[in-house]
């Protein structure tokens, strides 16, 4: 619990410092989970695949457990006007890592 609180405080500080981005989440089943907006850590980097034939961007958002509860594959999120589909959701300790692909 203390660690969770510490993590929440860390994310709050990061948000105040402008390190996070606002993310809107639309669950595939809104009856079970209503839409939600929260600040997340956004990481994007490009990788060369297929022996250098293709350049692909990997987009991952990270947020503390408790935000976007119930996020699942094929949910839609939007950040800065760009919509993404959730490809993978992993829980690592007290954080959720969600891999996205741009729609």
Partner 1 sequence: MGAVSIRERILQRLLAVLVPLATTAGASLHRSPTIALQRDDCPALVLFPESESITERANDRVTRELTVRLVALARAVPPDCAETAADVLLTAAHAALLTDSTLAGLALGLRETDIEFEVEEADGVVVALPVRYVITYRTLAADGSIQG
Q: Which residues bind partner 1 (CB under 8 A)?
A: 47-50, 52-59, 74, 85, 87, 101-103
Residue 56 beta carbon to partner 1: minimum distance, rounded to whole angstroms: 3
Q: Which is nearer to partner 1, 10 or 103 (CB)?
A: 103
Residue 92 beta carbon to partner 1: minimum distance, rounded to whole angstroms: 19
CA atoms of 44 and 25, how far apart (whole Å): 18
Residue 97 beta carbon to partner 1: minimum distance, rounded to whole angstroms: 15
Q: Which is nearer to partner 1, 21 or 82 (CB)?
A: 82
Residue 23 beta carbon to partner 1: minimum distance, rounded to whole angstroms: 17
Q: Which is nearer to partner 1, 54 or 91 (CB)?
A: 54
């Amino acid at each position: 619990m203390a660690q969770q609180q510490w993590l929440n405080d860390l994310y709050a500080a990061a948000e105040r410092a402008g390190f996070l981005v606002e993310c809107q989440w639309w669950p595939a089943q809104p009856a079970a989970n209503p839409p939600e907006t929260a600040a997340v850590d956004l990481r994007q980097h490009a990788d060369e695949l297929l022996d250098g034939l293709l350049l692909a961007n990997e987009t991952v958002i990270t947020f503390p457990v408790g935000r976007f509860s119930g996020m699942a594959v094929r949910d839609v999120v939007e950040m800065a006007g760009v919509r993404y589909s959730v490809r993978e959701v992993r829980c690592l300790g007290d954080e959720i890592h969600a891999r996205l692909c741009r729609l």
